[in-house]
Each structure stands twice: as C-alpha cells, then as structure tokens.
C-alpha cells in the first residue's frame, strides 16, 4: 500500500511539473506528510531529488520542440545557485512545523496564481528583454525559494520570464523546467547533507514522476487549457486550507 501511495504522488507531481511548469514538488510535501505520515523535514525535501529526472524528462519534450532559450540560462543560474545554497542552509534553523506552515501558505499563493495567470502570463507584443540584471534577480528569487522550500522555483521563473522578459509562455515554461533540472542538484545535495531526504521514497517518486513529466510536457505543447488551470488552482487553494488547518490543529 505504501508503494502504491508514493507512486501515485510521484505521478501527480511529475505530470503537474511538465504540464504547468510549476507546483509539482510543492504538492508532494503535504501529501507525504498526510498520506504517508512522513516527518516534516523529510516530507519537505524528499521530493526534491525527483525534480532532476522528471524535469529532464519534460525538458526532452520541450527541447525537441525547440522551445528552450539556452542563452538566458547562464544568467539565471548564476543568481540562483548561491541563493539556493543559502535557502537550503537556512532550513536547519527553522522548525519542521514552521516549514509545513510556510509550505501551506506557499501552496495558497500557487493556487491564487493560477487564477491570475491570464494577466501574469499574458504574452506582450514588445521586444524581448533578457538583460543580465533582470535574469540575475529572477534567479536569486527562484533559487532561494527552491532551496528553502525544496521546490523547483518555476512558480517564480515562468511568470517573470513572461512579464519582465517578454518571453512566450511555452518558451518560458520550457526554459524554466531546464533551470529546475540544474537547481535540483545543489538543493538535493544540501538537503541530503542535512539528513532531510528519505531515499527509498525519493526513488519510488522518481519512478512515477519521470514518465509523467514527459506526458505533461507533451500535453502542454499541444494546448493550454484555462479551465484546467482554474480547476488546478481551486484544488491547490482548497488543499492548502485543509493542510494548514491540520497543521494548526496539531500544534
């Protein structure tokens, strides 16, 4: 039964990561905490190693469609890597209960974001602006959140790539997913060093999330369904409320 639950969680986070470019590992943390009763810090960081194979799987689909903008990756990663290490380091000074509350609040933000994506992700008819300064700032924000909350950082990168850099949505999603693959490496190593990863569960999650991410990316290339996004956003908000209520009730 344990394997079936973790495989199911892996499938969900992989498909969501490939389809939307965000919100994959973020969902896994409360699911592992509630369904598998995993300790808070393990629930937080165990999904992180799955980000590498699942994001690579999704990236392959986007690469074949020639949607990844490799010219901006080096600037984003230059800002993201040190911020990622800082965020990871700070988790050791934060209680597991507090990390679960931060995760729940961030899930709420993700859900709300899906209702304003029509504005955040509105493609603009202006010249593409990929100045190093903007890309470095985006990288710092995404990198810190990636390390501190053990998430991919796509929630930050995708809308900012579109709004600030003038990128097309699918190109922003594809480029973000490639950056997530890189950021998952230092984040995983850092949390592993801190003892925050259950490798047995991580391997089972990866087994399901990797093919699911490829399928999600293939679906995203073909269509962008606003109704589906709003359903997903509603689920995220509802689940965040439930998860936060459970955390407060257990305090």
State how far Cα 245 lies from the chain centre: 23
How much is the pLDDT for 225? 56
Domain ranges of the chain: 2-249
What are the pLDDT digits (tens) for 83-107? Answer: 999 999 999 999 988 999 898 898 8
Helices within the chain (DSSP H only): 2-20, 24-35, 40-45, 51-64, 70-90, 96-113, 117-120, 132-148, 154-163, 169-193, 199-222, 226-249
Highest mean pLDDT among 24-28, 91-95, 242-246: 91-95
Highest mean pLDDT among 1-5, 58-62, 226-230: 1-5
Q: Is the pLDDT of residue 162 over 90?
A: no
How much is the pLDDT for 127? 65
- Please, are residues 209 and 50 in contact by the beta-carbon 8 Å criterion? yes
**Average of per-residue pLDDT across 176-180:** 89
Mean pLDDT value across the chain? 84
């Amino acid at each position: 039964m344990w394997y079936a639950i973790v495989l199911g969680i892996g499938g969900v986070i992989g498909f969501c990561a490939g389809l939307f470019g965000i919100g994959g590992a973020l969902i896994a943390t409360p699911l592992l905490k509630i369904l598998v009763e995993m300790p808070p810090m393990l629930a937080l960081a165990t999904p992180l190693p799955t980000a590498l194979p699942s994001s690579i799987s999704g990236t392959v689909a986007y690469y074949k469609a020639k949607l990844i903008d490799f010219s901006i990756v080096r600037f984003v990663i230059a800002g993201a890597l040190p911020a990622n290490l800082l965020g990871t380091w700070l988790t050791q000074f934060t209680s597991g209960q507090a990390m679960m509350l931060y995760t729940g609040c961030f899930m709420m933000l993700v859900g709300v974001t899906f209702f304003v994506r029509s504005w955040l992700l509105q493609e603009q008819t202006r010249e593409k602006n990929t100045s190093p300064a903007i890309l470095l700032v985006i990288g710092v924000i995404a990198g810190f959140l990636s390390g501190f909350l053990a998430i991919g950082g796509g929630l930050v990168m995708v809308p900012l790539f579109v709004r600030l850099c003038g990128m097309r949505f699918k190109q922003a999603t594809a480029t973000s997913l490639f950056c997530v693959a890189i950021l998952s490496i230092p984040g995983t190593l850092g949390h592993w060093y801190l003892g925050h990863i259950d490798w047995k569960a991580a391997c089972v999650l990866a087994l399901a999330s990797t093919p699911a991410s490829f399928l999600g990316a293939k679906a995203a290339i073909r269509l962008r369904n606003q109704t589906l996004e709003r359903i997903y956003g509603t689920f995220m908000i509802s689940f965040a409320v439930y998860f936060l209520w459970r955390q407060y009730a257990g305090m």
